[in-house]
Amino acid sequence: MSRQNYIFLLSCIFIFMLFSCKHGEGEYHSLTDKIEEKSKDYHGIPVSSEPYIDDLKTVEITEGEHTFLIPERKSQITSYACTECHSKPLEQMKGSDFKKAHWDIGLVHANKVTMNCATCHNGNNMDNLQSLTGNSIDFNRSYKLCSQCHSQQFEDWKGGAHGKNIGGWADPRAAMTCVNCHNPHKPHIESRWPSRFNTQKVKERE
Ligand code: HEC
Ligand code: HEC
Ligand code: HEC
Ligand code: HEC
């Protein structure tokens, strides 16, 4: 075989291999098909948030174009149902005949002119929260209360930029709700020093 023919033959084999490789990927019609198929079983772990939210009681909410799950709250609130005590209007439960209840709740949120207990609680319907316009809001959907004044964080939260998704971005989407992280009565989150390895202490020990 001449040198040119030999090179030609090698090139043919090379080109053939190139195409046959491509051919192996042909099972997928498009790249998105391939990603979808391959991510069905990621390292043996199916890509789903279900393993993370299995033990969690959740409620589904739809806000605008976003539908997702948030943790249920009522079963987590120690003094719920409120009507176990609040069986009559608040005015009738106050006064010297009654012990002071909820002494452990100090309101450290907005200033006293802007906010008091009645901004969020309705003395005549204690088992529900109350909007600024007097509409009742379920305790499981307390984010609706917060969103009245914190619309920026609410918008970010819906999109997933504020707060935290449970089980990452996998479907079904589940996200912590405002009161999972913020105490509504004292919502500011203190900044903390990052934990670090204390080299000074290690030196002292030596
Ligand atoms: C163990 C009984 C009991 C339970 C349960 C209870 N409350 Fe009360 N609460 C009281 C009493 C008694 C008062 C009135 C005396 C006072 O103001 O401390 C009161 C007062 C209040 C007030 C008015 C406080 C003020 O200073 O004006 C609010 C708001 C309130 N409760 C909210 C709630 C909510 C919300 C729940 C349920 C999540 C709840 N309570 C459950 C006994 C209870
Ligand atoms: C900014 C709105 C807001 C204000 C103001 C507010 N609350 Fe609440 N409160 C809430 C929300 C929301 C919850 C439910 C929190 C949750 O899901 O854990 C709650 C829960 C409670 C509970 C049940 C707590 C428990 O763990 O058992 C009591 C009692 C209560 N509030 C009383 C009061 C009293 C008394 C005041 C006034 C001093 C007050 N709240 C002011 C929003 C508010
Ligand atoms: C009636 C209006 C109103 C409602 C309802 C309300 N907030 Fe606020 N919130 C305020 C105001 C006013 C401040 C003080 C803002 C400031 O100091 O810059 C504040 C402060 C805060 C802060 C602290 C910001 C900081 O300094 O770090 C957080 C967090 C917060 N709110 C969360 C919530 C959550 C969660 C809810 C729902 C349970 C809620 N708020 C409901 C008006 C409201
Ligand atoms: C997973 C926990 C988490 C959830 C859920 C969450 N937040 Fe926050 N939020 C934080 C933390 C942490 C900060 C403090 C950020 C900082 O200091 O930089 C914060 C800060 C804030 C502030 C202060 C202003 C700011 O942006 O720093 C407001 C107001 C607030 N959150 C409101 C809300 C509301 C309203 C919701 C629900 C719609 C919500 N948050 C849900 C963790 C959470």
Please give the residue that has the higher pLDDT: either 112 or 196: 112
Query: What total of structural domains would you count in the chain?
Result: 2
CA of 146 to the centre of ligand 3 (A): 7
* Pocket test residue of 135, 138, 150, 157 for ligand 3, highest count of atoms within 8 A of CB: 150
Output the CA–CA distances (angstroms, integers) from residue 126 to 53, 58, 61, 117, 167, in the order listed. 30, 22, 23, 11, 34
User: Ligand 3 mean position to 111 CA, how many Å?
Assistant: 10
Question: Does 34 lie in the same domain as 123?
Answer: no
Can you tell me the mean pLDDT for 180-186? 97
Number of other residues whose CB lies within 10 A of the CB of residue 107: 15
Q: Is a pLDDT exceeding 90 seen at residue 162?
A: yes
pLDDT at res. 95:
75
The answer on 86 and 55 residing in a single domain is yes
Mean of pLDDT over the chain: 87
33, 54: one domain: no
Domain identity same for 51 and 145: yes
Largest pairwise CA distance in the chain: 113
Residue 141 lies in a domain: yes
Residues 56, 114, single domain; the answer is yes
Q: Is the pLDDT of residue 26 over 90?
A: no
- Residue with CA at minimum distance from ligand 4 atom 18: 191
Query: Does one domain contain both 32 and 50?
Result: no
Residues 10-23: pLDDT tens digits?
675 766 565 554 54
Q: Give CA–CA dist 132/144, Å, rounded.
A: 11
Judge contact between 58 and 72, C-beta under 8 A. Answer: yes
Claim to verify: residue 63 and residue 10 sit in the same structural domain = no
Residues with CB under 6 A from ligand 1: 77, 79-80, 82, 84-86, 90, 93-94, 98, 100-102, 117, 121, 126
Beta bridge partners of 63: 66
**25 in the same domain as 61:** no
Does 25 score more than 60 pLDDT? no
Whether residues 19 and 89 share a domain: the answer is no
Evaluate if residue 81 carries a pLDDT over 80.
yes
Name which residue sits closest to atom 3 of ligand 3, judged by CA. 149
What pLDDT digit, counting tens, does each position of 95-130 carry?
767 677 899 999 999 999 999 999 999 999 999 999
Residue 157, domain member (yes or no): yes
Which residues constitute the domain of residue 86? Answer: 43-93+106-187
71 lies in the same domain as 7: no
pLDDT digit string, tens, across residues 52-65: 888 899 999 999 99
Residues 172 and 79 in one domain: yes
What percent of the chain shows pLDDT beyond 90? 55
Quote the distance between the C-alpha of residue 21 and its chain's center: 43
Q: pLDDT, tens digit, for every residue of 35-55?
A: 888 777 666 666 788 888 888
